[in-house]
Structures are given as C-alpha cells and as structure tokens.
Amino acid sequence: MRKKIVIANWKMNKGLSEGLQLVDEIASDSSIRSNDVLKVIAPSFVHLASVADKLKNANGFAASAQNCHHVKNGAYTGEVSAEMIASAGAKYVIIGHSERRQYFNENNELLAQKVNVALANNLVPVFCIGENLTERNANQHLEVVTRQMKESLYHLLPADFSKVIIAYEPVWAIGTGVTATVHQAQGMHNHIRSEINKKYGKEVSSATSILYGGSCNPQNARELFACIDVDGGLIGGASLNAEDFIAVIKSFGS
Ligand code: 13P
C-alpha cells in the first residue's frame, strides 16, 4: 500500500502569525489528526522553522521547504541550503516546481543537483514534473515528463530513487481553475509509473508515491484521488484556508 500524501504549497503567501494560525487550525482538526494521510505544509523559508516546530509533535504532519540551493554551502548571498532546511526541522523539499523552472530558469541538470543535496541531507525531494499547454497540445506531454525524470532523477541508485515523491503538475492547470480530467491525470500517472518500472523495476515503481497538482480543490479531489495511480495531491490555492485544505485531505475514498 502506497502512502496517501497531501502537501500544502503556500508559495509566496502568508505572514508569520497568519501562517501559524492556519497551521493550528489544520493540525488541531480532530477529523484528520489521526487518519492515514501524511500531511505536509510548505511555508516560505523564513517561517519554516516556526512551522516545523509547531508540527513536531503533531502525528502525521511534517514541514517542507519549497526549494533549496543546488550546492552544499558557500558564498551565495540570499540563498538557502538543504542543510539549513534540515536544521530548521523540515523533512521534505519541493524541487523543480514549474514556477521555479519558468521564473528562475531552473533546468533539469540544475534540478538533478538539488535532488542530490536534498538526499545528502536526508530530506525527501518532492520532485515536480509536468508539461505546458503548448506541449500538451502538440501531444508531447508524455515525452516531456519522461525527459524531466530522466535528466533529473535517473542518475539515482534505486535506494535513493525510492525516497523521492513525484508530483505531476500540468503547468496549464496550476492556478488556472482548469483541472486535469480524471482520464488525463490517471493516464499520465500510469505513464510515469510505467516509466519508473522500466528504469527501476516493479518493486520501486509500485512503491513510488505520485501526487497530482493543479487546481486540485474540495470539488475535484475525490475523483482525482480515486484514480489508481494518484496517491494524493500537491495543493496551492486550496491549501491557503483550513476548511478547503482539510476537505481535500478528507477526499480519499475509504
Ligand atoms: P494550485 O492548486 O493553486 O493550482 O497550485 C498548484 C501548485 O502549483 C502546487 O504546487
């Protein structure tokens, strides 16, 4: 049985007190506190230690960074290393989000280095892949995500690849209100799992968690999470208020 996982990616939202209040509201909700879903919250770097501290005794919760720098340490003013993230108490780090690829020119080669420093610091990489609308319309979406995995992850030995969580986020669905259909999501997740199977074999591929992200909300999460190869969600907008985020967490079938 693969783990069910829901991750809140707050992106560049929430001040400190507002964010901590939201964490309190989510972590104290009795209907999700002891369910079997791993709940991860990814605030901004400056609030990471405070959020991680609040979650450290909350069963089934963990904190994540939204990014990390690709080298170990050094003269990189303004940057944040994987080691710093781990020392702040986070256990996860989102790597390769499409907003990082698009606005900060992060490419597959650089992202491979980020994956390496994350793993070297015992952080779980939540590795984001996904095609843009032009690629989808040109029917290139399958090869795009295959290339993203190949160039950023396939250098890993099976034991390290097994630690990675994959998040499929079609760029055209992020923040647009347009969600992938169940058919599109399951089709892609199945493709991703079969590619992992080709490279790492059945044991690894069947144990890899593959999350869906892109306008996932309380209205559509249930049907998305019911797909056989969808193991949970990476949630943006709907993670910014407790009611919606809790409803998404409760969207797994029994
Ligand atoms: P939205 O849920 O706002 O579409 O964002 C998805 C996302 O980018 C999560 O990382």
By most ligand atoms within 8 Å of CB, the mutation choice from 6, 7, 9 for ligand 1 is 9
Distance of CA 254 to the CA centre of its chain: 23
Which of these, 148, 126, 123, lies nearest to 135 by C-alpha position? 148
pLDDT digits (tens, 9 = 90+) for 6-41: 999 999 999 999 999 999 999 999 999 878 999 999
What's the pLDDT at 35?
Answer: 85
Is 140 exposed, middle or buried (CB count within 10 Å of its CB: 0-12, 13-18, 19+)?
middle
Written as six digits, the tokens of 244 are: 């919606």
pLDDT digits (tens, 9 = 90+) for 163-198: 999 999 999 999 999 999 999 999 999 999 999 999
By most ligand atoms within 8 Å of CB, the mutation choice from 94, 179, 215 for ligand 1 is 215
Distance of CA 127 to the CA centre of its chain: 6
Instruction: Report how far residue 204's alpha carbon sits from residue 149's, in angstroms, rounded to the nearest whole number.
Output: 14
What's the pLDDT at 1?
Answer: 76
pTM for this prediction: 0.98
Name residue 56's amino acid.
K
- The vertex-79 CA angle with 40 and 155, nearest 5°, equals 65
Find residue 125's DSSP bridge partners. 93
C-alpha distance from residue 113 to each of 68, 69, 139, 156 (Å): 10, 9, 29, 11
Which of these, 156, 97, 105, 154, lies nearest to 130 by C-alpha position? 97
Active-site positions read 97, 169
pLDDT digits (tens, 9 = 90+) for 52-109: 999 999 989 999 999 999 999 999 999 999 999 999 999 999 999 999 999 999 999 9
Q: For the chain, give every domain's residue range.
A: 4-249
Backbone angles phi, psi at 6, to 5 degrees: -130, 125
Query: Which pLDDT band holds residue 248 (cuts at 50, 70, 90)?
Result: very high
Length reported for the chain: 254
pLDDT digits (tens, 9 = 90+) for 110-143: 999 999 999 999 999 999 999 999 999 999 999 9
Looking at domain 4-249, its CATH architecture is Alpha-Beta Barrel (3.20)
The residues near 252 (Cβ < 8 Å, ≥ 6 apart) are: 4, 37, 225, 232
Q: How far is the CA of 213 from the centre of ligand 1 (A)?
A: 6
Query: Which pLDDT band holds residue 254 (cuts at 50, 70, 90)?
Result: low
Task: Establish whether residue 231 lines the binding site of ligand 1, counting it when its CB lies within 6 angstroms of any ligand atom.
Answer: no
Q: Flag whether pLDDT at 253 surpasses 90.
A: no
